[in-house]
Amino acid sequence: MLKTLWLTSVSLSLAISLILFPKEVLAASIRGLNLWWEIVFPSLLPFFVTAELLIGFGVVHGLGALSERWMRPLFNVPGSGGFVWVMGMASGYPSGAKWTADLRRKGQISQVEAERLVSFTNASSPLFIFGAVAVGFFHDPSLGALIAFAHYGGNFLVGIGMRFYKRREDRYAWVRDKTSPSWREAIHRMHHSRLQDGRSLGRLMGDAVTRSVDTLLMVGGFIMLFSVLTELLKQTGLIHLISHLLSWTPLPEAFHAPLMAGMLELTTGIGAITATHEPLLSQLILVSFILGFHGFSIQAQIASLLADTDIRFKPYALARIGQAFLSAFLVILGYWLYQNTEWFNQSLPIWNPRETFTEPIMKAFETIGPPFTLVMISTMVLIRVMKGGMVK
């Protein structure tokens, strides 16, 4: 009864706030929509479609057999988790959760293995870290390597720690997968997986597009919702009221409101943190903390992706707290290296600190992104109409 009353009160408060601040809500919703259809959709859809095709063709199953020899000892998950880990880092969250859920539905991983896997395969993409954070917010491309070191290093350490999660319940997994298949056996497994899937090329491509667009529509809804919630907290003053609780901590007062905003939606919080006049190291620590925590917006997206499976959300949520503190510690260590060595200041082969390489990419997204999004949504609708999915 108390939970019902609490949820009802929150919903009514939200509805009243929407009525009281219609102009601000509309502006926040449009900001979220622009972020989604200009950047998020066109950047993630190719990864989602490609992953769907690789899973359907059995490639993931075959590569998983080969990567078993290092994924099992390191993280205590099957080799197919290597694909999820690498692709999750390359494309950014919530990709890792989507592919973990897909592997679980296909029975390629157990429930406990899926809960371990989803805890460390959701990370910020390199484009966001080097482009949006280092160049866009800090205006210093050389900080990209430092932030990436802390973020991906924290992710790796979380994965190492999660290998001990419910190890007794899954004690037969290592014995079952102890052998290391050869290339020939991996190709045989890939072929068997494709035959077991049974879908034609045309149907597989259609399913890949529709499922990927469906997932990204859900992601877009969450981005707009949390953009509105963040704005409402600002307009009602609740974000400042909550931030007063942080006055009992040694955190500088200038970081109170930005931290609360970042806990809801990380992009907004990072922008507010870097706009302060606090020392650079303090900004880096808090930014790394927020990147590791993911923000409630991304956590809600991942919870939605896991909702129709038996994968529990709690291990992922606890892992976020762990990564937030680990990444904050690693950025302190990395900052010492950043100041005392030349490693972080060296030009990387694809991210040159002397060039703002992200500017043409971001401009291309702003130009091509919206029409690409509309075309792909129209394609999904057309495929569903042709399949009879929308005709009763």
pLDDT in tens, 239-290: 777 767 777 778 888 888 888 888 888 887 888 888 888 888 999 999 999 9
What's the average model confidence in pLDDT over 2-30? 88
pLDDT at position 291: 93
pLDDT, position 392? 46
pLDDT of residue 354: 42
Mean pLDDT, the chain, rounded, equals 81
Q: Whole-angstrom distance between the N-terminal and C-terminal Cα of the chain?
A: 39
Question: What is the model's pLDDT at position 350?
Answer: 38
The confidence score (pLDDT) of residue 55 equals: 77
Torsion angle of the four alpha carbons 32, 37, 41, 42, in this order, in degrees rounded to the nearest 10: -140
Range with lowest mean pLDDT among 51-55, 111-115, 208-212, 297-301: 51-55
| Residue 320, both tokens | 């976020």
Taking residues 284-298, what's their average pLDDT? 91
Which single residue is written with the structure tokens 């020939």? 184
Best mean pLDDT range from 55-64, 79-88, 318-327, 357-366: 318-327
Report pLDDT digits (tens) over 125-137: 887 888 778 877 8
Amino acid identity at 273 = I
Q: 3-class DSSP state for residue 360?
A: helix
pLDDT at 175 over 60: no
Spatial CA neighbour of 14 closest among 221, 233, 237: 233
Confidence of residue 351 (pLDDT cuts 50, 70, 90): very low
Name the pTM for this structure: 0.79
Closest Cα to residue 107, out of 155, 61, 161? 61
Dist. CA 378–CA 329, nearest whole Å: 46
Listed residue (233, 377, 369) closest to 297, CA to CA: 233
Q: Percent of the chain scored above 90 by pLDDT? A: 17
**Which is higher by pLDDT, 312 or 364?**
312
| Least confident span in 18-32, 255-269, 277-291, 355-369 | 355-369
CB neighbours of residue 138 within 10 Å? 21
Distance of alpha carbon 78 from alpha carbon 68, whole angstroms:
6
As a whole number of angstroms, the distance between CA 356 and CA 351 comes to 9
The lowest-confidence range among 63-67, 106-110, 209-213 is 63-67
Q: What does the block give as tokens for 242?
A: 């909550």
What value does the mean pLDDT take over residues 319-348?
79
Residue 345's pLDDT is what?
Answer: 53
The letter for the amino acid at 370 is P
Q: Is the distance from CB of 97 to CB of 294 less than 8 angstroms?
A: no
Which tops the pLDDT comparison, 151 or 202? Answer: 151
- Residue 316: what pLDDT? 93
How many other CB atoms are there within 10 angstroms of residue 269's CB atom?
26
Query: Under 8 Å CB-to-CB from 240, ≥6 apart: which residues?
Result: 256, 257
- Report whether the peptide linkage leading into residue 94 is cis, meaning its omega lies within 30 degrees of zero: yes
Q: What is the 3-state secondary structure (H, E, C) of 300-328?
A: HHHHHHHCCCCCCCHHHHHHHHHHHHHHH
Characterize 119-131 residue by residue with b for buried, 16 or more Cβ atoms within 10 angstroms of its Cβ, and e for exposed.
bbbbbbbbbbbbb
Model confidence pLDDT, tens digit, residues 60-102: 767 766 777 778 888 888 887 888 888 888 878 888 898 899 8
Query: Quick one: average pLDDT of 366-372?
Result: 80
